[in-house]
Structure 1
Amino acid sequence: MTITHGPARGRAAGHGSGVPGPPGAVPLGGGGAGRAARPDPADRAQLARRPVSRRRIAALFAPHRGTIGGVVVLITAASVINLAQPFLVRGVIDEALPRGDTRLLLLLTAAMVGVAALTAVLGVVQTWLATAMGQQVMHALRVDLFRHLQAQSLGFFTRTRGGEVQSRLTHDISGMQSVVTTSATGVASNLTTTVATAAAMIALSPAMSLISLAVLPPAVWLARRVALIRREVTDERQRELALLHTQVEEGLSVSGVRLAKTLGTTARDAARFAARSERLVHLELRSQLAGRWRMATMQVVFAAIPAVVYLAAGFPATGAGMSIGTLVAFTALQGTVFRPLMGLLNIGVQWVAALAFFSRIFEYLDLVPQISAPGVPVRLDPSTVRGEVRLEGVRFAYDDGAEVLHDVDLVLAAGTTTAVVGATGSGKSTLGSLLPRLNDVTHGRVSIDGVDVRDVDPAELARVVGVVSQETYLLHATVRENLLLAEPGASDADLWRALGAARIADTVAGLPDGLDTLVGARGHRFSGGEQQRLAIARTVLRDPPVLVLDEATSALDNTTEAQVQAALDRLAAGRTTLTIAHRLSTVENADQVVVLDAGRVVERGTPAQLRAAGGPYARLAARADRSEGLEEGPAPQLLRS
């Protein structure tokens, strides 16, 4: 699956063209000359690849029909009420001031303030309702998408870049909410304002209205040209910003800094960052200066608009019978009509952008999880599980169709330890991933106490099967918070007991902040062995009856491995344990050893039996005696009987 993100994401909040509105323009929720003048090609490509059903979008907003209706009513009311201002001004100039009518003057000026206050209140309420609705829709989508992604298999996350997943979950949903809310309110406010203003202008002076029609088109054309130029520069700037953010994310992480220091690339990386930053400076200058002459021309046009009206008012043919108050009111209305008109012209662009956001979000929501929760889960109480594990006729293939495991039949008696050995790529880790359902079998079944793991609720299965892997993941939080992930209700005494079982209690107790010590990004505050023992302590807290140890000591030195192995042996006592073995020391005490070759079980038995048999395991063990590893060398020579 190819995932494409267009630059529209960076403009979700509405990076405008910076074109100022005409004098007296009223900012009305969505439109503006600053909007993009044409749809983003990336948005169109996304929609061509993943069309979006309007009915599906409508279903998201269906629970908020009452709110939408209320927002439309408020916008319409505010737009209509605000049009009273020019007529009140005309009354002040034509009636109250010439007559010296103080009472009328007080009434008209008070009405002007009242209209402004009322439209302001209506605007606040409308904004609150529209934003609350948008946030609720965004919240529901964000939570649904997060849960849906959690249900995806590990294969999805190995195929997909983490940044793209985060982008869909945060940027795209936020952008969707912003664009949709702006477009929805913009259509209502801009349409109402444009129609009402045009009607008021005609009511004031039909002749002047015709003159205005000749002035507005060049202003609209110039505004769209400026928006187009600024849009192209903004796209380039967004791409450069994305590269800069990527370099910051990769280069200033713990691993990135370590890599740069060990390879001696810090100066080179700094120079690359400086070059990108300098390009951003030039792009920002281009963005600010883009269309500057056109903007200057627009300012002249904006100044010419009232000038043309005043000039026309001076000629008998066009200005006959027009009072000064009517002239001032008409000029104000003409200035106001430009911004909503531009907003209506750009609604189509905003709608394409909104559909593109929905398309990207629905693309992930429509992914079918390879591992799904059972409709009616079978109860498997961790406190009563004996822990007998069976793999019956198990076959497994990844998405590309290549089969990794072939007809594996295996029994792990309750409370025993089974070690799985074999060359790299023989399928050991894949076999270990089937018990906790990190992957699901393609054929056959994996059961615990006779219950197929696919029939168990995933949360309950996680309490039955504990996993300690080679790659330890610790959150950038305290030791306490990392441990409580396994058992939120554990007391400090429980935590210290788990740390003691993992043989790291003395280390944590010796730290100034003890359990409240920050482990650092990905646990780098601690050594590799200490991270492993913290992970073991986390598993001890869960107290699972079945345990999978996936090469948990393979990346450690001999001394640290001995310490971690002692903790693992203590953890495995009395549990059904499947050990993916890398070193001979992790195998010799196993109750059963299984040798895999290219996904097939080629040998099984106790370590002593297999050594005496002189088969694949004996050759592996002989080589391990010399090299300390059970995986070295090409698989065919090591494992072919």
Structure 2
Amino acid sequence: MSDERIGRRLWALFLPYRVGMVAILLAVLLSSGLGIITPFLTQAAFDRALFPTAGGPVNVPLLGWLVGGMIAVPVVSALIGVWQTYQTTLLGNRVMADLRGRLFEHLQRMDLSFFTATRTGAIQSRLSNDVGGVQSVLTETATSILGNVVTVVAALVAMVLLSWKLTLVAVIMIPVFVVLQIRVGRVRRRLAGHTQESLSDMTAITEESLSVSGVLLSKVFNRQEFEVRRYRAENAKQVDLQVRQAMTGQTFFAVVQTFMGVTPALVYLVAGLLIAAGSGVSAGTVVAFTTLQGRLLFPTVNLLRVSLDVQTSLALFRRIFEYLDLRPRIVDRPDARELDPRTVRGELSLRGVWFAYPPAERDGPDPAADGSPARPWALRDVSFDVHPGQLAAIVGPSGSGKTTLSYLIPRLYDVDRGVVLLDGNDVRELTQASVTSAIGMVTQDTYLLHATVEDNLRYAKPDATREELEAAARAANIHDRIMSFSEGYATVVGERGYRLSGGEKQRLAIARVLLKDPPVLILDEATSALDTASERLVQQALENATRQRTTIAIAHRLSTVLGADVILAVENGEIVERGTHTELLAQGGLYARLYTEQFAGGQVEARCANGVVFRDGHTLVTSARPTP
């Protein structure tokens, strides 16, 4: 992305606040203009009041007016400066908030594949480190550049009016400094990019190793020292980059400041030669000129520093705009239709579905000549129907494509070939919001917010009444457990719900889905990691959740799907068998093999006799251990 394009996009960020920008511009012009008046008042004080050319006495009245002006100018300028600083800070932070908000909103719209291919810490770094790194540019730099430019231009004009010969002495090296500054800025920009990449890596390490899951992982494998060494190594790299970035250009600025510091002496020398030659340069002119030269020194150095900061920030803006320019793979079509979840019957159909996961890189490899992606197929020619109110179970070995099927139905991914239909509508022709509103999911890896039980439930339905919350919790067999906590529904569940057991988290997730009340429900191995007692409670909750809903249940434990209306056996991305439990056992294929591996023959029948839960007259799940 070119610097010119970055500049245009930055300008677009400020356009909504053009009125405030105009007010700040006027304040900067007025403040800078007032600053140029003082040297001319000083010249008049010397040449007309203190040392009149005719050799007369001091003109006290005139001197009083001039001194009053020299006092009034900085006072007024300071008051304007305070107001300008407030307005500049307010405007800059509003632009910062807009930029952060736009970036966060854009990331929320990105497809699931983006997040599976990108570290969470790297995303957080863009939002915090990169956006935070450009804060000074947005809040201070624009007005700093404007104010310094006005001051420099006004000072140069005034210096030329006083003496063009002395002006040449004062500014002869400035063009050289500008060229050197551009070269230094290029180095600083490159270092800034490397610094932000290192910060991104540090943030990712922190997020991975200091999350609850990361801490547990490092502790159970005794890898704390490894994590410390990894962080320290990246930290040392960050220190090196920060020092190199800070020191880049310091020699250059030392040369600039040295030249600016010795220039007044050269001005005195040249002025003395001019006075000796009878050029008509007065003492007041020399004093006023050196005063202006002082006003030229600091703005010039500041401009050079600020321009370096701008070039450094361009690297950060480029990283921010790279994320803003990412295009999600899953978007609504211009003519997408809204689907009212209240009228959804729950008819699901997949017709000739082929799917391959997108590459980790956003551009990725090109598809093959026949239109197939240059990646392995996760699903191959999958077709099935689930009628309203039915329970369809998907079983198969790990990696066979079960979870992938569950991602295609709510359009977390788009199929490469074929079609996914909801009530006869291609989900790609519907708005994403209306599709996801009609579908609820309970996953094996339950995610809970670090918030109260009530807040986690209300995530599904923010306007739910307390009665609705409790009804959903009772249906999920979690209400009594919640009320046993000292703070009840106000109990904070902790990071990712770690203060709750696995069964409690699953039941809370089921209650959340029940509160949403979707016509279609997807269960992704919701009980695979639970003990028998927790599984029984969760299965009872699932029985409530699946009643009168179209349900897709991805199951590892076959005991949870014995009474399904249809069981789909998946292997290597293909449906190899379909039918009821009894039909598939009789076929002696994949399902029968999985059944034999899990239950070793007649244990399931004995278990069913020992305790069962029914769903629409079918055995759904056992509720007791198998008997010998």
Q: Please give the TM-score of this superposition, normalised by the length of structure 2.
A: 0.80
Residue 340 of structure 2 aligns with an amino acid whose one-letter code is D
2:458 counterpart residue number: 484
- 8 Å contact kept, 1:180–1:354: no
Please give the alpha-carbon distance, in whole angstroms, between the structure 2 residues aligned to 1:447 and 1:545.
14
Please give the alpha-carbon distance, in whole angstroms, between the structure 2 residues aligned to 1:451 and 1:128.
55
Residue 254 of structure 1 aligns with an amino acid whose one-letter code is V
Please give the alpha-carbon distance, in whole angstroms, between the structure 2 residues aligned to 1:235 and 1:441.
37
- 8 Å contact kept, 1:52–1:359: no
Gaps of 5+ in 1: 1-45, 631-641
Matched, 1:602 2:591: no
Matched, 1:111 2:64: no
SS at match of 1:165: helix
- 8 Å contact kept, 2:106–2:324: yes
1:120 counterpart residue number: 78
Residues 513-559 of structure 1: CA deviation (Å, up to 9, x unaligned): 22222221222122222221211111111011110001112233333
1:382 counterpart residue number: 341
Mark the CA change 1:266 to 1:600 in structure 2 (over 3 Å): closer, same or farther.
closer
SS at match of 2:349: strand
Gaps of 5+ in 2: 52-56, 360-372, 605-628
Instruction: Tell me the CA shift for residue 47 of structure 1.
Output: 4.6
2:355 counterpart residue number: 396
SS at match of 2:379: strand
Instruction: Tell me the CA shift for residue 603 of structure 1.
Output: 1.2
Aligned with residue 363 of structure 1, among 322, 340, 344: 322
2:290 counterpart residue number: 331
Residues 276-298 of structure 1: CA deviation (Å, up to 9, x unaligned): 76787788888888898887777
SS at match of 1:52: helix
Please give the alpha-carbon distance, in whole angstroms, between the structure 2 residues aligned to 1:140 and 1:556.
45
Residues 325-347 of structure 1: CA deviation (Å, up to 9, x unaligned): 43332222112212333455567
Instruction: Tell me the CA shift for residue 373 of structure 1.
Output: 2.2
SS at match of 1:395: strand
Q: How does 1:52-451 map to 2 (within 5 A)?
A: 52=5, 59-65=12-18, 67-96=20-49, 101-175=59-133, 178-179=136-137, 184-213=142-171, 244-270=202-228, 301=259, 303-315=261-273, 316-317=275-276, 321-345=280-304, 352-353=311-312, 355-400=314-359, 401=373, 402-451=376-425
Please give the alpha-carbon distance, in whole angstroms, between the structure 2 residues aligned to 1:379 and 1:235.
43
1:472 counterpart residue number: 446
- 8 Å contact kept, 1:52–1:355: no
- 8 Å contact kept, 1:91–1:325: yes
- 8 Å contact kept, 2:567–2:581: yes
Instruction: Tell me the CA shift for residue 252 of structure 1.
Output: 2.4
Mark the CA change 1:382 to 1:512 in structure 2 (over 3 Å): closer, same or farther.
same
Please give the alpha-carbon distance, in whole angstroms, between the structure 2 residues aligned to 1:221 and 1:155.
45
Please give the alpha-carbon distance, in whole angstroms, between the structure 2 residues aligned to 1:455 and 1:276.
47
Residues 407-463 of structure 1: CA deviation (Å, up to 9, x unaligned): 222111211211001112221111111221111222332223223333333333223
Please give the alpha-carbon distance, in whole angstroms, between the structure 2 residues aligned to 1:294 and 1:143.
38
Please give the alpha-carbon distance, in whole angstroms, between the structure 1 residues aligned to 2:232 and 2:253.
32
Please give the alpha-carbon distance, in whole angstroms, between the structure 2 residues aligned to 1:59 and 1:231.
22
Q: Please give the TM-score of this superposition, normalised by the length of structure 1.
A: 0.79
Aligned pair count? 582
2:504 counterpart residue number: 530
Instruction: Tell me the CA shift for residue 107 of structure 1.
Output: 2.6
Mark the CA change 1:524 to 1:95 in structure 2 (over 3 Å): closer, same or farther.
farther
SS at match of 1:114: helix
Instruction: Tell me the CA shift for residue 582 of structure 1.
Output: 0.7
SS at match of 1:403: coil
SS at match of 1:466: strand
SS at match of 1:202: helix
Residue 384 of structure 1 aligns with an amino acid whose one-letter code is T
Please give the alpha-carbon distance, in whole angstroms, between the structure 1 residues aligned to 2:248 and 2:312.
23
1:549 counterpart residue number: 523
Instruction: Tell me the CA shift for residue 622 of structure 1.
Output: 0.8
Please give the alpha-carbon distance, in whole angstroms, between the structure 1 residues aligned to 2:311 and 2:450.
39
1:568 counterpart residue number: 542
- 8 Å contact kept, 2:570–2:577: yes
Residue 146 of structure 2 aligns with an amino acid whose one-letter code is A
Mark the CA change 1:116 to 1:471 in structure 2 (over 3 Å): closer, same or farther.
same
Larger deviation, residues 370-379 vs 408-417: 370-379
| Percent identical residues | 44
- 8 Å contact kept, 2:122–2:200: no
Please give the alpha-carbon distance, in whole angstroms, between the structure 1 residues aligned to 2:527 and 2:433.
27
Instruction: Tell me the CA shift for residue 176 of structure 1.
Output: 5.1
SS at match of 1:390: strand
Mark the CA change 1:563 to 1:351 in structure 2 (over 3 Å): closer, same or farther.
same
Instruction: Tell me the CA shift for residue 84 of structure 1.
Output: 0.6
Mark the CA change 1:186 to 1:574 in structure 2 (over 3 Å): closer, same or farther.
same
Please give the alpha-carbon distance, in whole angstroms, between the structure 2 residues aligned to 1:350 and 1:274.
28
Mark the CA change 1:493 to 1:622 in structure 2 (over 3 Å): closer, same or farther.
same
Aligned with residue 583 of structure 1, among 557, 572, 585: 557
1:638 counterpart residue number: none
- 8 Å contact kept, 1:82–1:119: yes
RCO comparison, higher one (Cα < 8 Å, 6+): 1
Larger deviation, residues 428-437 vs 255-264: 255-264
- 8 Å contact kept, 2:93–2:139: no
Aligned with residue 460 of structure 1, among 434, 455, 460: 434
- 8 Å contact kept, 2:93–2:138: no
- 8 Å contact kept, 2:190–2:315: no
- 8 Å contact kept, 2:166–2:270: yes
Please give the alpha-carbon distance, in whole angstroms, between the structure 2 residues aligned to 1:449 and 1:612.
32
- 8 Å contact kept, 1:389–1:412: yes
Residue 90 of structure 1 aligns with an amino acid whose one-letter code is Q
- 8 Å contact kept, 1:378–1:451: no
Mark the CA change 1:247 to 1:453 in structure 2 (over 3 Å): closer, same or farther.
closer
Please give the alpha-carbon distance, in whole angstroms, between the structure 2 residues aligned to 1:95 and 1:354.
49
